[in-house]
């Protein structure tokens, strides 16, 4: 039985790994999660790296999979992407978030590749829906590049949603908690993917705030998929990916205007609907990427030798 090691850096949150493990174990693989430093002792058959930089092999015989979940963010994006191409070792297979990421990185070799976009985690059926505890929820990162102050300012005294409760579900930032220390603004640490739906069900509306700049405006929104899976009405900024997603998969969302200002009455008058998420499951995405077929061929070759 072949072993896949999913290599996770300590400061990176990868909710997909548990779903990956379940999927590949059903196909007959052993799986584990480890840090880059642990690879030499583990010696797995397959190393699955989430990129990043991977400039040196720790196990020359391992099959390497490099997954690129994004292009570089911030200034000098093109240069950062180029550095990754120079420094990273050549893998046996590459996985890209979408065509935008693949074309932007623009590898010129013949390494096989596939697309595995963002997935959603199906919510467990609930016999009784809980009472709504929060008016809004934002389930995602609040790092500076996402400009969380722009939507948090809605809830401060004098803001258009002053006094309406909001749950911020994600990695906690002390400076934000200090700046927005109001009784109706609640911060909560990231929870396992299987528990996210519980918190979403306690909320009336989901906030999908994404700055309209590359590469962020070209990337799938995990939080929007989670809101849709939970059946929440969605409030969103207007940018390239969400418009393309709506065109292909449907749904009606409250789009923020250029001013980014909204009010409670408008939100409640709007008619919302949910998209089709059938192509956003882990099973569909991994099968469509070609990775299972690639790995199965490796197994066939190994046992035919």
User: Residues 15-71: pLDDT tens digits?
Assistant: 788 889 999 999 989 999 998 888 888 889 999 999 877 778 888 888 999 999 876
3-state secondary structure of 135: strand
Q: Are residues 109 and 223 both part of a single domain?
A: no
Q: Are residues 139 and 201 both part of a single domain?
A: yes
Domain count, the chain: 2
Res. 211 pLDDT band, cuts 50 70 90: confident
User: Of the candidates 155, 240, 226, which has an alpha carbon nearest to the alpha carbon of residue 195?
Assistant: 226
Q: Are residues 98 and 139 both part of a single domain?
A: no
How do residues 77-108 score in pLDDT, each as one tens digit?
Answer: 666 666 666 677 899 999 999 998 898 888 88
- Mean of the pLDDT values across residues 143-153? 91
Give me the domain span that covers residue 182. Answer: 134-269
Report the alpha-carbon distance of residue 52 to residue 129 in Å, rounded: 41
pLDDT at 183: 96
Beta bridge partners of 185: 166
Half-sphere exposure of 80 (CA within 13 A, CB side): 12
- DSSP code string of 204-247: EEEEE---SSTTGGGS--HHHHHHHHHT--EEE---HHHHHHHH
Q: Are residues 31 and 114 both part of a single domain?
A: yes
**Residue 217, in any domain of the structure:** yes
Q: Are residues 140 and 248 both part of a single domain?
A: yes
Evaluated on CA atoms 21, 26, 27, 32, the torsion sign reads: positive
User: Of the candidates 88, 121, 81, which has an alpha carbon nearest to the alpha carbon of residue 228?
Assistant: 121
**Residue 126, in any domain of the structure:** no
- Mean of the pLDDT values across residues 204-231? 91
Q: Are residues 141 and 244 both part of a single domain?
A: yes
For position 30, which CATH number holds? 3.40.50
Q: Are residues 74 and 199 both part of a single domain?
A: no
Report, in this order, helix, strand and coil percent for the chain, each rounded to 5: 35, 20, 45
Q: What is the pTM of this model?
A: 0.84
Res. 212 pLDDT band, cuts 50 70 90: confident
How do residues 230-239 score in pLDDT, each as one tens digit?
Answer: 999 999 999 9
Q: Are residues 155 and 179 both part of a single domain?
A: yes
């Amino acid at each position: 039985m072949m072993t896949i090691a999913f290599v996770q850096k300590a400061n990176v949150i990868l909710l997909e790994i548990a779903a990956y493990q379940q999927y590949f174990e059903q196909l007959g693989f052993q799986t584990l999660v480890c840090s880059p430093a642990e690879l030499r002792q583990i010696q797995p058959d397959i190393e699955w790296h989430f990129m990043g930089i991977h400039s040196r092999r720790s196990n020359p015989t391992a099959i390497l999979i490099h997954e690129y979940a994004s292009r570089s963010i911030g200034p000098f994006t093109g240069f950062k992407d180029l550095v990754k191409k120079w420094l990273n070792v050549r893998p046996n297979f590459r996985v890209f978030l979408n065509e935008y990421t693949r074309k932007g990185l623009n590898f010129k070799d013949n390494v096989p590749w596939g697309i595995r976009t963002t997935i959603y985690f199906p919510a467990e059926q609930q016999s009784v829906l809980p009472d709504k505890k929060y008016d809004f929820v934002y389930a995602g990162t609040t790092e500076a590049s996402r400009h969380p102050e722009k939507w948090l300012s809605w809830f401060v005294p004098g803001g258009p949603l002053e006094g309406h409760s909001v749950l911020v579900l994600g990695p906690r930032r002390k400076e934000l908690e200090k700046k927005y220390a109001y009784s109706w603004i609640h911060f909560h640490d990231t929870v396992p993917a299987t528990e996210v739906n519980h918190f979403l069900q306690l909320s009336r509306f989901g906030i999908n705030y994404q700055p309209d700049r590359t590469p962020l405006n070209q990337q799938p929104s995990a939080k929007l998929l989670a809101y849709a899976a939970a059946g929440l009405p969605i409030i969103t900024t207007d940018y390239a990916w969400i418009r393309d997603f709506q065109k292909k998969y449907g749904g009606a969302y409250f789009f923020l205007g250029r001013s980014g200002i909204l009010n409670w009455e408008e939100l409640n008058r709007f008619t919302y609907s949910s998209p089709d998420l059938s192509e956003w499951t882990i099973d569909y995405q991994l099968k469509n990427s070609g990775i299972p077929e690639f790995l199965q061929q490796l197994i066939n070759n190994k046992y035919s030798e």
